[in-house]
Structure 1
């Protein structure tokens, strides 16, 4: 395992922006209400308006989501991921910092996809672009690039679960399903046997991660730190689930998987059970 921390502060990034081995990626995606469900829009326009100096934009909607997957946002395969991030200028030798300008879960999604492909030299910017601004650090506009390079993907199949896997896990006492949606949505319907750790309770009012001991208490309270159970996190579309997966890894779990299709895939078949 890498000794690179899973979070870095805005102060750390500010000090290391000139480091030629550091690559900064803005993975912002905007979700807004629409007549036919949520409207999903890559954050390229907001990136071009304002971003951390030196950051490049990665389109997680079109470039890193598999349109033939079992649900929207399905992770692309290793070859596609390697091609996309290599073209963005991320190579095996680089140290990557990811962030977004919304609620942090798009940064953790990008962090998770790097880890899924065997790359651990990646950190989430704690607090994202908001924390960068609050610290008084300057932002820039326009588009930036790094020279393309080669990235090697080494898929870790133990970090991802399919609907078929989760159907089997419902009756497996050794697996704990962890729902990352807010408590109201959890109450409306969840996969049987799930516990609830809302992603927005992992951060404080400033958007930065809560103290590690507070997070330990929260995760322990639902049994997610029980060494006899393997955690599988999920949410609506596999995005917020990655924030809980990251927190569990921060607390020492190296056996966390994400149900990539999450509720979008689970509810596609009305015959699958839901608890309310």
Structure 2
């Protein structure tokens, strides 16, 4: 018999929670822990994204965690990778993980937190406020010697979550083009590594960044030794290229909207309401006339 979830909400203290907080609340029936890991692998046919489910099942996960498939279930089918799902598709995917209006969510990944940030972004932009990212992800959980679980954990039964699209979380190509053309005010932020930004590396057909962009790589907002999120003056200094224009709107992009979610998450934590260009360079480069700039 499934234990009923209490009606009074469990509210994470912040958009980021520590391994300590998660451990204290791990067995609360109101909490759903989500592993949102996606892995990038080189194959004979080239680079591709693959689900992190096998590692979740075999290598271990936070006890009780369920697995979110960001490649298929939490993306809209179509020509681009990781396109944000429709509200209906998102609601179905959340319910399949045991998430509804009575639950709080803590999400993590095994990388540097950008997959978890993408999951957070999908939920928060759909009006689901009771969601937080595990600071440092599974690496931080492991580093503290905390328990891991292997195998499959069936999600709890859930009702249909109530989702309401919130403005300001997403940007489209037209908004980006207006900024590039000088027809609108805004700051374009590339969340890719510096070498990709300069045009020295990258897997895309054309190298470089959208004209006028500044570079705030997703990895730069984390402490490299621990993968924990930077805070205070140190975070402000890393975000300064994006925030120096004051109140100008900020739009963050990357290759397919994942690293962008990590940098945008850091910006929002610091009080700067950034938006993610969901199509990012995948959509931008679909137009052969769309300009790119290299610094190489």
1:17 has 2:26 as partner = yes
Q: CA deviation at 1:18?
A: 1.3
Runs of 5+ unmatched residues, structure 1: none
Runs of 5+ unmatched residues, structure 2: 1-10, 200-207
Residue 234 (structure 2) aligned to one of 214, 223, 231: 214
Give the structure with higher Rg (CA).
Answer: 2
Count of equivalent residues: 272
Alignment partners' CA distance in 2, 1:275 and 1:228: 25
- Deviation string 1:219-248 (CA, Å, 9 cap, x unpaired) is 12x142543310000011100001111111
Alignment partners' CA distance in 2, 1:172 and 1:35: 44
Instruction: Look up the match of 1:103.
Output: 112
Q: CA deviation at 1:4?
A: 4.2
- TM-score, scaled to structure 1: 0.94
- TM-score, scaled to structure 2: 0.88
CA contact (8 A) 2:136 2:229 kept: yes
Instruction: Look up the match of 1:87.
Output: 96
Alignment partners' CA distance in 2, 1:152 and 1:227: 35
- Deviation string 1:29-72 (CA, Å, 9 cap, x unpaired) is 00112354421111111111110001001101010111226x21
CA contact (8 A) 1:97 1:122 kept: yes
Residue 238 (structure 1) aligned to one of 243, 257, 265: 257
Alignment partners' CA distance in 2, 1:225 and 1:86: 41
Alignment partners' CA distance in 1, 2:275 and 2:46: 27
Alignment partners' CA distance in 2, 1:120 and 1:175: 26
CA contact (8 A) 2:242 2:250 kept: no
Alignment partners' CA distance in 1, 2:108 and 2:239: 24
Instruction: Look up the match of 1:266.
Output: 284
Q: Which segments of structure 1 move beyond 6 Å, counting only runs of 4 or more?
A: none
- Indicate the RMSD between aligned Cα atoms, in angstroms: 1.6
CA contact (8 A) 1:127 1:207 kept: yes
